[in-house]
Amino acid sequence: MNGYRIAANIDRRQWSDFVLNHPHGNIFQTPEMFELFKRTDNYEPLFFVVLDETGKVKGSLLGVIQKESPGIMGYFSSRTLVWGGPLVDPSDDETEAAVLGMLLDELVRQAGSRSIYIQSRNLFDMSRYSDKFKENGFRYHEHLNYIVETGVRDETEKKISKSKIRQVRKSLKTGAKITEPCNIKQVEEFYNILKDLYKTKVKRPLPDWSFFRSFHQMSRDGKIGKYFLIEYKKEIIGGIMCPITREKTIYECYVCGLDGKHEGVYPSVLATWASIEYALNNGLKYFDFMGAGKPDRDYGVREFKAKFGGKVVEYGRFERINNKSLFVLGKLGLKILGALKK
């Protein structure tokens, strides 16, 4: 479009203001998340905006190229992920589609030859953009999620299953505590539980320790979110990592617990409740589980999430395969890495 251009460097405040004033703005599209990605080993953030002739932001996109190792072997696990974006100025219907097209063109230009696939993990309804994604080689895949409304305590608690409420109360009565980390060692204890879970059950790669360490460093400054850890007899037995969109939403990014190890203590339930309770106490509108699997496939965790009274939504994902042969090998490689990574 005449007068519109792609830019990669803009004033940080201008970037933040556009994202946080957007009706679908979220922490995953902010400068803080860019900083977290930049601090993480084998992650490379991508950011660019569309500016009009006056320098006003009309659209923005933050993504990250992820690899499981550096060098040539890392390419076989390389993928580009975008959470909660792109974001396009919704006030101008005439330019909205064109701005989105510019953002997607630039995303494919920068990431198409450097990653096996690109995936947009939608945090809101992006069905109106389906045609534009399709034009840029993306296919839509159904994917479920649960979102818990946390505006009114009584209504939120009423929707949570009685069994989960009992498990929360029993855990606290037995002596488990919800706490925020006092030091990096406690975060590392949480990470080790999570790493074992991903190795033995989830069997997918987990971000490097640097991701969790950096999140802790940034969370202490109130920049990006919270850790809630579950402590029992002076031992960390679970927890949850929660990015937060200011005044709006808290997200379950990673959660784990030594469930079944201590009688009467349910760390995964207590960690999930900790996030919901934080939202209730701090004026946040939603707790977002960030995924509940594909509707046509069994997903054991879905039943667990459903019991917290959330609304099921299907915002799905847009995916572009950049190299079909390597995509098949890369998917297999990620499963192997998930099973072997220590």
Q: Environment class of residue 132 by beta-carbon count within 10 Å: exposed (0-12), middle (13-18) or buried (19+)?
A: buried
- Answer whether 263's CB lies under 8 Å from 233's CB: no
Bridge partner list, 243:
225
Q: 176 with 200, same domain? A: yes
Q: 52 with 201, same domain? A: no
Q: 173 with 282, same domain? A: yes
Write the pLDDT tens digit of every residue in 308-338. Answer: 999 999 999 999 999 877 777 656 655 544 4
For the chain, 342 residues long, give each residue's pLDDT as a single digit of tens.
678 999 998 999 999 999 999 999 999 999 999 999 999 999 999 999 999 999 999 999 999 999 987 766 666 779 999 999 999 998 877 899 999 999 999 999 999 999 999 999 999 999 999 999 999 999 999 999 999 999 999 999 999 999 999 999 999 999 999 999 999 999 999 999 999 999 999 888 899 999 999 999 999 888 899 999 999 999 999 999 999 999 999 999 999 999 999 999 999 999 999 999 999 999 999 999 999 999 988 877 899 999 999 999 999 999 999 987 777 765 665 554 444 343
Residue-level pLDDT at 337: 46
Residue-level pLDDT at 332: 61
Bridge partner list, 313:
145
CA 131 – CA 67 distance, rounded (Å): 29
CA 98 – CA 101 distance, rounded (Å): 5
Write the pLDDT tens digit of every residue in 107-119. Answer: 999 999 999 999 9
Q: 165 with 254, same domain? A: yes
Q: 206 with 217, same domain? A: yes
Q: 292 with 170, same domain? A: yes
Instruction: Give the residue among 187, 175, 197, 269 at the shortest CA–CA distance from 225.
Output: 187
- Spell out the long-range contacts of 326-330 with Cβ–Cβ below 8 A and sequence spacing 24 or more: 326/75, 326/76, 326/116, 327/116, 327/117, 329/76, 330/76, 330/77, 330/78, 330/79, 330/116, 330/117
Q: 123 with 173, same domain? A: no
Q: 103 with 180, same domain? A: no
Sign of the alpha-carbon torsion through 40, 41, 43, 44: positive
The residue assigned the tokens 């965790």 is: 301
CA 30 – CA 47 distance, rounded (Å): 10
Residue-level pLDDT at 340: 39
CA 119 – CA 175 distance, rounded (Å): 42
Residue-level pLDDT at 323: 81
Q: 44 with 55, same domain? A: yes
What is the four-CA torsion angle of 258, 259, 261, 263, rounded to 10 degrees? 140
Q: 267 with 306, same domain? A: yes
Residue-level pLDDT at 71: 67
CATH of the domain at 66: 3.40.630.30
Residue-level pLDDT at 341: 42
Q: How many domains does the chain have?
A: 2
Longest C-alpha distance within the chain, in Å? Answer: 66
Q: 90 with 219, same domain? A: no
pTM of this prediction? 0.93
- Answer whether 240's CB lies under 8 Å from 227's CB: yes
Q: 150 with 270, same domain? A: yes
Instruction: Supply the range of the domain harboring residue 155.
Output: 146-313
Total H helices, total E strands in the chain: 12, 16
- Residue by residue, what is the 3-state secondary structure of 112-135? CCCCCEEEEECCCCCHHHHHHHHH
CA distances from 81 to 65, 119, 121, 217, 242 (A): 7, 5, 7, 23, 18
CA 329 – CA 249 distance, rounded (Å): 36
